[in-house]
Chain A
């Protein structure tokens, strides 16, 4: 293991450095706040001659994904990045990329959806395509954004997987906050990633085929099952890749979930993304006050880490989900997924879920402490199910 250069950069720049280290060959993207600086930095790399890639300028995110699909089908290693409305605009093409089994890596800087117009973080955008066949990974900080994007290429291009991967990070909290990031040396990344173009189903004029022709009901179901099977395989591949990456960089994240001080915990907080840093601080504080609390940060939303969650929660007393999204007419999306695991595996747990930090409202370590205290207080009074508490909702301003 050889340490590389350390730069003080934002998550957006970390994403651009990751794409450069992965030696992407085609980049196609449309600018949107807060993603813009990812692609700006990549354009700068190309302009300076530091990255040999084709930048396709497009008129929309729908076209951005369409050109990524074309380039990937031709065997190129491709990268794009988007956010919020941009991700929604390419929604149809997302399903196309997954259905055609094309390895594509995309950065998603999570941002709430308008109206009302907003540019701050929320996870409604990245959770929208959760049924599409994309792997959805989520980073906590700039270092992990860099590491996860490099890893995403190896996962996406693995012949057992051949599915596109999106890597998420939070608007502004991550995207525009500079942190020290260690860059692995190029030769180590070259060793870690196979050379691009090894896709087993690559367009070839000498051996022509076409993508996505009409399929009758007698075969469609089998193609969908193959995606589900690869998602199951991805659980194994993500862990293998995390381990292999650890060998070259010394950084291992724990695979599909990161657990923080869970060994002696009775109560487990579940979070996604940047707020997990504040939640870890809350865990440290609560632990110092004698409360047996730990944290489970979901690094992979798809595949959903069911086995890890069962293993983690089976001997615990309670689970407290804190999430930055809401499925209108249902409630917290992550909470519903954890609740389904609790039900299917018959885990005897107290359960609480909180909706917090929508549209970029801060989720501080104090907020996490408050939510844990609310949950534990209710549990101690015999209430074992608390669902969808809109934490910090300003009822006084409601009509």
Chain B
């Protein structure tokens, strides 16, 4: 068994999750059409895994290593700029 010392309370620091890179769970991949994006930030606000980051211009980028492909961003996008595309076995 692992012998890493535990803290007083059951807290965890940001690191690769015990379940690994959860992006591997995804079978639908959100792809952002940057031309259509109006930079409203709604996808960033709604993402339950906080894997969308906005760059300096407010354009969203998705961290595919942890995006589970739930599709909430695509569903919430007011201008339909996010499309869910079937994964073809590529991570």
Binding site for B on A (CB under 8 A): 99-101, 162, 200-201, 208-216, 218-219, 222-223, 226
Residue of A nearest to B12 (CB): A213
Chain B residue nearest to A223 in the complex (CB): B10
Interface segment out of the listed B1-9, B28-36, B60-68, B69-77: B1-9
Please, how many angstroms separate the alpha-carbon atoms of A198 and B8 in the complex?
15
- Which residues of B are at the interface with A, using a C-beta cutoff of 8 A? 1-2, 6-14, 18-19
**Other-chain contact of A201, B1, B8, B14 (Cβ < 8 Å):** B8
Indicate if the CB atoms of B14 and A99 lie closer than 8 Å. no
Q: How far is B10's CA from A214's CA once the two chains are assembled, in angstroms?
A: 9
Chain B residues within 8 Å of A226, by CB: 6, 8
Supposing A208-B14, A209-B13 touch, asked if A218 and B8 sit within 8 A by C-beta, the answer is: no
Of the candidates A209, A214, A218, the one whose C-beta lies within 8 Å of that of B11 is A209
Instruction: Tell whether, in the assembled complex, residue B12 and residue A101 are in contact, meaning their CB atoms are under 8 Å apart.
Output: no
Most buried by A among B6, B7, B8: B8
Question: What number of A-B contacts does a CB cutoff of 8 Å give?
Answer: 44
Residue of A nearest to B17 (CB): A213
Set of chain B residues within 8 Å of A101, measured between Cβ atoms? 8-10
With contacts A218-B1, A218-B2 taken as known, whether A100 is within 8 angstroms of B14 at the C-beta atoms is: no
In the docked arrangement, what's the CA distance between A200 and B11, Å? 12
A215 to B88, CA, bound (A): 33
Looking at chain A's contact residues, is the secondary structure mostly helix, strand, loop, or mixed? loop
Which B residues touch A201, using CB under 8 A? 7-9, 11
Please, how many angstroms separate the alpha-carbon atoms of A70 and B64 in the complex? Answer: 30
Q: Assess the B9–A211 pair: CB atoms within 8 A.
A: yes
What is the chain B residue whose CB lies nearest that of A203? B11
Q: Which residues of A contact B11 (CB under 8 A)?
A: 201, 209-213
Which chain A residues border B9 with CB–CB below 8 Å?
100-101, 162, 201, 211
The smallest beta-carbon distance between A138 and chain B, in angstroms, is 26
Complex CA gap A162/B12 in Å reads: 17
Chain A residue numbers with a CB within 8 Å of B1 are: 218
Smallest CB gap from A220: residue in B: B10
Q: Which residues of chain A are near B12, meaning CB under 8 Å?
A: 209-210, 213
Bound Cα distance A210, B11 (Å): 5
Asked whether, in the complex, the Cβ of B14 is within 8 Å of the Cβ of A215, the reply is no
Could you jot down 11 A-B contacts, CB within 8 Å? A99-B10, A100-B10, A162-B8, A201-B8, A210-B11, A210-B14, A211-B9, A213-B11, A219-B6, A223-B10, A226-B8
5 closest A-B pairs by CB:
A101-B9, A213-B12, A209-B11, A218-B1, A201-B9
Q: Name the A residues within 8 Å of B13 (CB-CB).
A: 208-209
Chain B nearest CB from A218 CB (Å) reads 5
Chain A CB within 10 Å — which of B8, B10, B11, B13 has the most? B10
Chain A proximity of B89: nearest CB distance (Å): 27
Instruction: Give the docked Cα–Cα distance between A213 and B12 (Å).
Output: 7
Taking a contact as CB atoms under 8 Å apart, the answer to whether B2 and A223 are in contact is no
User: In the complex the two chains form, what is the Cα distance from A209 to B1 in whole Å?
Assistant: 24
Assess whether B8 is in contact with A222, with CB atoms less than 8 Å apart: no
Let me know if B10 and A200 touch, CB within 8 A.
no
Chain B residue with Cβ nearest A230: B8
Q: How far is the CA of A264 from the CA of B12 in the complex (A)?
A: 54
Which of chain B's residues have a CB closer than 8 A to the CB of A200?
8
In the complex formed, the residue of A with least CB distance to B4 is: A219
Whole-angstrom distance between the Cβ of A267 and the nearest chain B Cβ: 43
A218 to B18 Cα, complex, angstroms? 13
CA gap between A26 and B11 in the complex, in Å: 23
- The CA-CA distance from A201 to B12 in the complex, in Å, is 11
Contacts of A218 in B (CB 8 A): 1-2
Q: Which of A99, A213, A223 contacts B6 (CB 8 A)?
A: A223
How distant is the Cα of A214 from the Cα of B19 in the complex, in angstroms?
9
The reply to whether A211 and B10 contact each other, CB–CB distance below 8 Å, is yes
Q: Decide: A222 and B14 in contact? CB cutoff 8 A.
A: no
* Identity of the chain B residue whose Cβ is nearest the Cβ of A226 in the assembled complex: B8
Q: How far is the CA of A200 from the CA of B9 in the complex (A)?
A: 10
Chain B residues near A208: list those with CB within 8 A. Answer: 13-14
Q: A100-B9, A210-B12, A215-B10 are in contact. List 5 more A-B contacts (CB 8 A).
A: A100-B10, A201-B7, A201-B9, A209-B11, A213-B18
Complexed CA–CA distance, A46 and B7 (Å)? 37
A100 to chain B, nearest CB (A): 6
